[in-house]
Structure formats: C-alpha cells, structure tokens
Amino acid sequence: MKTLSEMIQSDKPVLVDFSAEWCGPCQLMAPVLKELKDDVKEDVTILKVDIDKNPQAARLYNVMSVPTLVIFQNGNIKWRQSGVVGARELQQVLSQFKLS
C-alpha cells in the first residue's frame, strides 16, 4: 500500500480530507465527497486522513482544524481550505488542476 507522501506525488490531482471521527462538520463532508467522486470519476484521487490515527500527517501538513481539505499535485500543495466545502465549489477548484 502506498503512503500518503507517495500518493500525492501523482500528476493527477489528489484531494485529501483531513478529518476526525468526533468532528461533526467532518461528517457533513462524507456525502459531499461521494457526490464529488461520482462527478470526477478517476480524474481525481480522493483520500480521507483521520488526524487522530495519523497525527504525523496532520503535523507534516500543518493541519490545525478539521475538516481541512488540501489538493496536492506532483507533491505540491495547490489549494487548501478548512471547514465544510460544497461539491460544486470543489469541482470548480479541481477543474483548474485536471489533466487535459
């Protein structure tokens, strides 16, 4: 299984949802990410990282609150935002990074 640092090296955009089980707003992101996945199919990789189970990843990417969404491409952070984000807004942001 690939590590997070290996997965974000992809030239395909990787959306990482840093979240926690106890976080109410994080639970609101689940249906949003499912809707997004249905729309973007294989163009974008969507990962969920539980900060309680992966505290080193939270520290490495300076995640101070959850949910925090980060888009990586080729190992670089292209976009990040904390809080609940709608599927349409995420689609618009991701459209800037999709491969042609």
User: Which distant-in-sequence residues (6+ apart) come within 8 Å of 11 by Cβ?
Assistant: 73, 74, 99
Residues recognised as catalytic: 23, 26
Establish whether the linkage from the previous residue to 67 is cis, with ω within 30° of 0.
yes
